[in-house]
């Protein structure tokens, strides 16, 4: 007898949706473990709007989106333990936790959903040269300081990286009275959504320097200035192109990494392309009964997609607990030209339908996504526009899957004829 | 001619809008034409921010305007938001500033405060 039928690690949007979906399928003894002092995860600090257009069909702020899921917990038997840190997950689904209220505990579960989210890449991860002064923050850390703790982190700001959090912080700091001097992006295109470029940079006349990077950081105690240089097509700084910005704050929005310390320690197989677990179509990892969803699985652009994926994981965990296991031989998914990764990485042949999520490696116009079964084209989906910053998804119905002859299908991009 | 990037869908068409006639070119669909014209006539945005919480361990409460307000009024709205002090309880949707900066929009809470 397990202590709980289902343990969910993380009470962000992924964990909440997974727990609620499992509850809807009749699982009753559910425990969510959260290390912060409240449920909601990163949405609590994402006070801007634009969430929920797909799922709720209206535009909500992050706290409102999280609040709706927290409200749905009322009337369920789902238990949420906040201020609770998970120290270890074992293969047999024993979870070790520690909290101020309950001390150290070992809790066993019939199934586990991993929903730990992701972390920001830091200055160390991208090796920015220069002084080690204060005033350098990841964009998400600055967002937490401002929106939760109520501290203004600086007055003259340069942002490195054009990911969405960086763009959102450019607007946020400007509205609070800071001067954002520039947003600097290493790649020749932005990593953020177009709407954020317009609403967060253009609205406030903040210049975006594409194919540029920070090449020096100067400051004794506090940051005093940064040097920005243009880069060549191999992303190497070009001497003689230096621009100097006098600023007291540098925000980094240079990518997110799924947080899989617990998964790795438990022996969950990790895909080096996503930095998340290798999963089946039902979000089950390489350890039976352990599922993964949300940003711990792969980094998403929209919380709505996190919710949809997490509901699948929660329902699959319920199936596992109730003894309904997926059937059919394994078919692997391989990424062909232009495709960076796929989730899932493999699936059971007898699945009802297969949804595949992936990112392309470059910007494409009037291209197509092809699913190849050896040399045979199984399906083709036209796309007017694809970019690495926007997750793609395709759905293969059962009738198509039944036609597969090989044990590997390949997803690839067919470029438009010149 | 004013150049804009359409934000209606992820495609991000590069629009050109005539400042006199509001005629739009470069759009791939009718929604782009509507966005382009509106963006020049009366651009509006929802403003989100936080207000100071007193008498609680919680320091800030997130808020938003309950409708898009004229873009030019964003900083006036921010100034009014900066003057607000709240104590709990507050519910999501409670009006904290009515008719903020004369925009007819209200500033409402986006989170419950116990």
Q: Could you report the per-residue pLDDT of A165-191, keeping only the tens digit for each? A: 999 999 999 999 999 999 999 999 888
B111: contact with A, CB 8 A cutoff: yes
Label the pairing between strands A49-51 and B107-109: unpaired
B89-92: list long-range contacts, CB under 8 Å, 24+ apart.
B89/B113, B89/B114, B90/B61, B92/A64, B92/A67
Asked whether the beta carbons of residue A49 and residue B46 sit closer than 8 angstroms, the reply is yes
Chain B positions touching A147 (Cβ under 8 A) are 50, 60, 62
Closest CA to B45 of A169, A142, A196, A158: A196
**For residue B81, is pLDDT > 70?**
yes
- Chain B residue with the nearest C-alpha to that of A49: B48
pLDDT attached to residue A417: 61
Q: How many CA atoms lie within 13 A of A392 on its CB side?
A: 29
Asked whether the beta carbons of residue A175 and residue B47 sit closer than 8 angstroms, the reply is yes
Closest approach of B28 to chain A, Cα-based (Å) = 10
Q: What is the pTM assigned to this prediction? A: 0.93
Give the list of residues 6+ apart from residue A236 with CB closer than 8 angstroms, or none.
none
At B9, the pLDDT band (50, 70, 90 cuts) reads: low
Q: Rounded to a whole number, what is the distance in angstroms from the first to the last CA of chain B?
A: 51
Closest CA to B63 of A62, A200, A68: A62
- The share of chain B scoring above pLDDT 90, in percent, equals 66
Give the closest of A61, A194, A195 to B62, CB-based.
Answer: A61
Lowest mean pLDDT among A22-36, A226-240, A360-374, B25-39: B25-39
At A235, the pLDDT band (50, 70, 90 cuts) reads: very high
Report the alpha-carbon angle A167-A41-B88, nearest 5: 100
Label the pairing between strands A179-185 and A156-160: parallel
Give the closest of A67, A146, A384 to B11, CB-based.
Answer: A384
Report the alpha-carbon angle A273-A278-A280, nearest 5: 135
* Interface test mutation site (partner B, options A56, A61, A168, max chain B beta carbons within 10 A): A61
Largest CA distance in chain A: 69
pLDDT attached to residue A191: 80
Mean pLDDT over each residue of chain A, to the nearest integer: 95
Chain A positions touching B52 (Cβ under 8 A) are 150
Chain B positions touching A59 (Cβ under 8 A) are 46
* Model confidence pLDDT, tens digit, residues A88-105: 999 999 999 999 999 999
B89: contact with A, CB 8 A cutoff: no
Number of cross-chain residue pairs from A and B with Cβ atoms under 8 Å apart: 69
* Interface test mutation site (partner A, options B80, B110, B113, max chain A beta carbons within 10 A): B110
- Chain B residue with the nearest C-alpha to that of A67: B111
- The share of chain A scoring above pLDDT 70, in percent, equals 100
**For residue B39, is pLDDT > 70?**
yes
Chain A positions touching B12 (Cβ under 8 A) are 194, 385
Average pLDDT over residues A29-49: 97
Chain A positions touching B63 (Cβ under 8 A) are 47
* Burial (Cβ within 10 Å: 0-12, 13-18, ≥19) of residue A138: buried
Closest approach of A62 to chain B, Cα-based (Å) = 9
Chain B positions touching A198 (Cβ under 8 A) are 4-5, 7
Chain B positions touching A387 (Cβ under 8 A) are 10
**For residue A129, is pLDDT > 90?**
no
Average pLDDT over residues B51-66: 96
Asked whether the beta carbons of residue A194 and residue B75 sit closer than 8 angstroms, the reply is no
Torsion of CA B12, B17, B23, B28, to 10 degrees: -20
Average pLDDT over residues A352-374: 94
The CA–CA distances, whole Å, from A295 to A143, A382, A403, B3 equal 18, 27, 32, 36
Give the closest of B4, B10, B48 to A48, CB-based.
Answer: B48
* Model confidence pLDDT, tens digit, residues A1-26: 899 999 999 999 999 999 999 999 99
* Secondary structure (3-state) at A411: strand
Asked whether the beta carbons of residue B59 and residue A146 sit closer than 8 angstroms, the reply is no
Report the alpha-carbon angle A279-A30-B62, nearest 5: 85
CB A1 within 8 A of CB A25: no
B31: contact with A, CB 8 A cutoff: no
Give the closest of A67, A176, A199 to B111, CB-based.
Answer: A67
* Model confidence pLDDT, tens digit, residues A299-345: 998 899 999 999 999 999 999 999 999 989 999 999 999 999 999 99
Give the closest of B50, B64, B92 to A147, CB-based.
Answer: B50
Give the list of residues 6+ apart from residue A370 with CB closer than 8 angstroms, or none.
A336, A377, A379, A380, A381, A411, A412, A413, A414
Beta-carbon count within 10 A of A325 CB: 12
- Chain A residue with the nearest C-alpha to that of B65: A49
Give the closest of B10, B60, B71 to A150, CB-based.
Answer: B60
CB A161 within 8 A of CB A168: no
Average pLDDT over residues B107-111: 98
- Chain A residue with the nearest C-alpha to that of B50: A147
Asked whether the beta carbons of residue B110 and residue A385 sit closer than 8 angstroms, the reply is no
- Chain A residue with the nearest C-alpha to that of B67: A59
Give the closest of A175, A194, A198 to B10, CB-based.
Answer: A194
């Amino acid at each position: 007898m397990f202590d709980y039928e289902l343990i969910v690690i993380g009470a962000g949007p992924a964990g909440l949706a997974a727990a609620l979906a499992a509850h809807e399928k009749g699982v009753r003894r559910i425990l969510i473990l959260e290390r912060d002092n409240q449920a909601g995860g990163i949405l609590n600090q994402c006070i801007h709007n634009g969430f929920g257009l797909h799922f709720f069909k209206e535009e909500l702020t992050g706290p409102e989106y999280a609040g709706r899921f927290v409200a749905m917990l009322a009337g369920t038997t789902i238990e949420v333990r906040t201020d609770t840190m998970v120290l270890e997950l074992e293969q047999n689904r024993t979870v070790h936790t520690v909290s101020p209220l309950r001390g150290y505990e070992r809790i066993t579960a019939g199934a586990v959903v991993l929903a730990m989210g992701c972390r920001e890449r830091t200055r160390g991860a991208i090796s920015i040269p220069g002084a080690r002064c204060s005033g350098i923050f990841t964009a998400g850390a600055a967002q937490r300081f401002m929106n939760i703790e109520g501290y203004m982190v600086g007055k003259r700001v340069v942002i490195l990286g054009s990911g969405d959090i960086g763009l959102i912080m450019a607007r946020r700091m400007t509205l609070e009275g800071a001067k954002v001097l520039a947003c600097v992006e290493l790649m020749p295109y932005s990593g953020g959504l177009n709407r954020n470029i317009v609403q967060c940079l253009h609205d406030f006349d903040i210049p975006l320097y594409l194919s540029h990077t920070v090449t020096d950081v100067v400051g004794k105690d506090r940051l005093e200035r940064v040097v920005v240089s243009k880069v060549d097509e191999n992303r190497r700084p070009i001497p003689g192109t230096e621009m100097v910005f006098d600023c007291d704050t540098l925000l980094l929005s240079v990518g997110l990494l799924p947080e899989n310390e617990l998964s790795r320690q438990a022996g969950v197989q990790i895909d080096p392309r996503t930095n998340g677990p290798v999963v089946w179509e039902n979000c089950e990892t390489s350890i039976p009964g352990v599922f993964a969803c949300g940003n711990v699985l792969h980094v998403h652009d929209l919380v709505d997609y996190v919710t949809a994926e997490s509901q699948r994981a929660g329902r699959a965990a319920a199936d596992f607990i109730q003894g309904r296991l997926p059937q059919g031989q394994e078919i692997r998914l391989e990424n062909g030209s232009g495709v960076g990764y796929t989730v899932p990485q493999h699936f059971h042949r007898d699945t009802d339908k297969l949804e595949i999520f992936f990112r392309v490696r470059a910007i494409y116009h009037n291209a197509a996504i092809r699913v190849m079964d050896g040399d045979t084209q199984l399906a083709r989906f036209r796309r007017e526009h694809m970019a690495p910053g926007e997750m793609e998804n395709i759905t293969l119905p059962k009738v198509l899957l039944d036609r597969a002859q090989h044990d590997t299908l390949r997803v690839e991009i067919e470029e438009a004829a010149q | 001619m004013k150049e804009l990037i359409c934000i209606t869908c992820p495609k991000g068409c590069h629009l050109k809008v005539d400042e006199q006639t509001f005629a739009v070119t470069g759009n791939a669909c009718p929604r782009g034409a509507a966005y382009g014209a509106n963006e020049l006539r009366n651009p509006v945005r929802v403003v989100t921010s936080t207000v100071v919480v007193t008498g609680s361990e919680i320091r800030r409460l997130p808020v938003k305007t309950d409708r898009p307000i004229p873009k030019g009024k964003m900083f006036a709205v921010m100034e009014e938001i900066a003057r607000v002090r709240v104590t709990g309880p507050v519910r999501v949707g409670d009006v904290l500033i009515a008719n903020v900066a004369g925009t007819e929009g209200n500033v409402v809470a986006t989170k419950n405060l116990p």
